[in-house]
A and B are shown apart, each in its own frame.
Chain A
Amino acid sequence: MTRFRHRHLLGIEPLSREDVLAILDTADGLREVLDRPIKKVPALRGKTVVNLFYEASTRTRASFEVAEKVLSADSLTIATATSSVTKGETLLDTARNLEAMNPDMIVVRHASSGAPHFLARHCKSAIVNAGDGAHEHPTQALLDALTLRQKKGRLEGLTVAIVGDLLHSRVARSNLWLLTKLGASVRLCAPPTLVPPGLGALAPVTHDIDEAVRGADAIMMLRIQSERMAGGFVPSLREYHARYGLTAARMRHAKKDALIMHPGPMNRGVEIASEVADGPWSVILDQVTNGVAVRMAVLYLLLGGAPEASL
């Protein structure tokens, strides 16, 4: 069994199709641990992981923490509100201080695109990107892919619509890379103000949600933040919901067995109606469970485990 050849996980873009499959297959193997009565394996005993979160995040942070515990890593979490970060210490100083404790890995969430690359350049530890600005959120894309593969049995040939704030979304970028690497076809949908230039070269873009949903195997809804109204990107949440919100009525255009995904946290009544979020199409809660499995796989592979492990 070959070892996973990357030192860091900075994004999906630099990964090969084989790399992605290695992570997904390993996650499949590890997920079974989560169903055991004693959810703990010694795979990462003696390894130290620091979760460095510069942005509020409940689910990603909790998901990494659970993954670390299940694998028996020693971990500690530093979030902005509880660290010297708020006192104006630089990212590099904070990271160097943490490095003095000799961690094996730093999991970083940061509002600045490229912050994980910056750490990777200046630190000795393995760096995992837990979301950087509008750049990438690789573990989110991996868990989305894992969920799709479980539900549909494959990724190749699927049609996936990604709908919402494409301009500011790292989830959209990571998913776009991942899905196209694995042979799914992606459609993007947003109002023109929320489509960054050049994205159309990577996947077709439409401004009509009905067109995006029609015949799709899965629909990924992106969160729209209320500050986008202030930025003049859309006139009102009301109009956004009317034109770009996913409602049960719109789901009539989708395939019968289409899946609805959302990286969370959801704005019910804005980008997604509750009847859809809680409806039969929704796999939003499966995404959460799979999130732990892919993060276990990433930790395990980067810290020296062999792909497709079963423990």
Chain B
Amino acid sequence: MSAIVVKGGRVVDPAHDIDGPADVRIENGRIVAVGKRIPTRGATVLEARGRVVCPGFIDLHTHLREPGREDKETIATGTRAAAAGGFTAVCAMPNTEPVNDTAGITRAILERARTDGAVRVYPIGAITRGSKGEELAEYGDLREAGCVAVSDDGRPVASARVMRRALEYAQAFGLTVIDHCEEPSLTEKAPMNEGPVATLLGLRGWPGAAEAVMVERDVLLAELTGGKVHIAHISTAASVDAVRRGKRRGVRVTAEATPHHLLLTDQVVRDTEYDTATKMNPPLRAEADRLAVIEGLRDGTIDCIATDHAPHTVDDKKVEFDQAAFGIVGLETAVALCLDRLVRTGIVSVPRLVELLSTHPARVLGLPGGSLALGAPGDLTILDLDRERTVDPARFQSKGRNTPYGGWTLRGWPVATIVGGTVAWQDTAVGAPRRRSDRRRAPSRRRAGGS
């Protein structure tokens, strides 16, 4: 029997309305007790006084790149990045090479995750074969092999007919359809948000309406079919409004937002003079859109925060702006960005953030985890709200260094990640877990290893 007790932390479990000092005991990979003065007999003890202990964070939107683009990321490096960023599970987008559109590929991903993975990997299957937007993939097989949702992320499902069929057919297997909303005829060769900034930079514009028309479409089709649709990386005011209206009507629609759409605007493309670390899809939007996404986060229209972790090689990014690959890495900065820029500023509370990063992601896709219920997976994310550290891309676990946050000093970081009762990652500055016999107190100068 292996056991671990996380002692003396502030336990935040929104699923059970818990927010207070408690210990958490995990045995054989499962939560067995949450409460005061839980016996530590036979267990490794992780001192968490002054820290926040939450059900493990789940990223709904990760690009692990394996198979096919191991130069950008592998399941090993991507899951290490997840662990180091406070995530105990990632949902792997299917736009690998080949696309994860058959059970064999799903099984191969899961097998690699079993041998190399630092955290749990939940594969997402393709909506259509090859993500070409034409014929549906075999959802029954995909589900059976272990896929937790379907998505053609990276590509839009241009045909409304195909999206309708996907939303219908996926219901047979309880799968949610995750859509990357982009009307392709409006975004051809457009590297940034359409608006005054793109005008000044002379770059082709990707209008917010190209997203919103697809969100409106998807909401209407989910209403028509009774299917479950999840809007990936929502980025515009009109999209948030479409989801809000849909939810009000009882449509089964959920949505996620990325830290970058919550924190940055297209102005940074100009401020950084075309730095390709500011190029992503959907692009960074105008301030009014950013504020609307934050409002959606506050009022519950947006259910989750997801990273859209999109690692690329230096060569993919060190080119002209319009030639560069879309996307930034996010696993190792998302939680700290949220703590520093959303929690410390009072936009969301700690429990609400845990909902956005754990409770809801689990609920949206029906994943295990997301709560500290007895018998739930022994996955914990431990946060230190006062730890200050500067983002240093050179020290990322991810192969990707493509981030606009290099040099940002953030306060509030994950300090340990426990997956199935095992410490998957721990900030070296915090000190190792100790056996019961070890009476030494946890180091009190927690910021000692900063910067």
Chain A residues within CB distance 8 Å of chain B: 13, 90-92, 110, 112-115, 117-118, 121-122, 132-136, 170, 173, 196-199, 201
> Is the CB–CB distance between B194 and A134 below 8 Å?
no
B205 in the interface, Cβ–Cβ < 8 Å? yes
> Is the CB–CB distance between A113 and B274 below 8 Å?
yes
With a CB–CB cut-off of 8 A, which chain B residues contact A91? 319-320
Bound together, the chains give a CA A113 to CA B321 distance in angstroms of 7
- With A112-B323, A113-B274, A114-B274 known as contacts, the answer to whether A136 contacts B195 (CB < 8 A) is no
> Is the CB–CB distance between A90 and B319 below 8 Å?
yes
Bound together, the chains give a CA A118 to CA B318 distance in angstroms of 9
Q: Tell me, rounded to whole Å, the shortest Cβ–Cβ distance linking B244 to chain A.
A: 25
Q: Which residues in window 186-232 of B have CB below 8 A to A? A: 194-205
- With A118-B274, A118-B320 known as contacts, the answer to whether A198 contacts B196 (CB < 8 A) is yes
> Is the CB–CB distance between B205 and A197 below 8 Å?
yes
> Is the CB–CB distance between A196 and B320 below 8 Å?
no
The chain A residue with its CB closest to the CB of B203 is: A113
With a CB–CB cut-off of 8 A, which chain A residues contact B315? 90
Bound together, the chains give a CA A115 to CA B322 distance in angstroms of 9
Q: Tell me, rounded to whole Å, the shortest Cβ–Cβ distance linking B193 to chain A.
A: 10
B427 in the interface, Cβ–Cβ < 8 Å? no
Q: Which residues in window 299-328 of B have CB below 8 A to A? A: 315, 318-323
The chain B residue with its CB closest to the CB of A114 is: B274
Bound together, the chains give a CA A135 to CA B196 distance in angstroms of 13
Among A113, A121, A170, residue most surrounded by chain B Cβ atoms (within 10 Å): A113
With a CB–CB cut-off of 8 A, which chain B residues contact A133? 202-203, 322
> Is the CB–CB distance between B199 and A113 below 8 Å?
no
With a CB–CB cut-off of 8 A, which chain A residues contact B198? 196-197
The chain B residue with its CB closest to the CB of A92 is: B318
> Is the CB–CB distance between B202 and A132 below 8 Å?
yes
With a CB–CB cut-off of 8 A, which chain A residues contact B71? none
The chain A residue with its CB closest to the CB of B197 is: A198
> Is the CB–CB distance between B203 and A13 below 8 Å?
no
Q: Tell me, rounded to whole Å, the shortest Cβ–Cβ distance linking B328 to chain A.
A: 18
The chain B residue with its CB closest to the CB of A110 is: B320
- With A118-B274, A121-B273 known as contacts, the answer to whether A199 contacts B199 (CB < 8 A) is yes
Bound together, the chains give a CA A92 to CA B320 distance in angstroms of 9
With a CB–CB cut-off of 8 A, which chain B residues contact A173? 200, 202
Beyond contacts A122-B318, A132-B202: 14 other A-B pairs, Cβ-Cβ < 8 A, are A90-B319, A113-B274, A114-B202, A114-B273, A114-B320, A117-B273, A118-B320, A134-B203, A135-B201, A135-B202, A173-B200, A197-B194, A197-B196, A198-B199
Q: Tell me, rounded to whole Å, the shortest Cβ–Cβ distance linking B269 to chain A.
A: 9
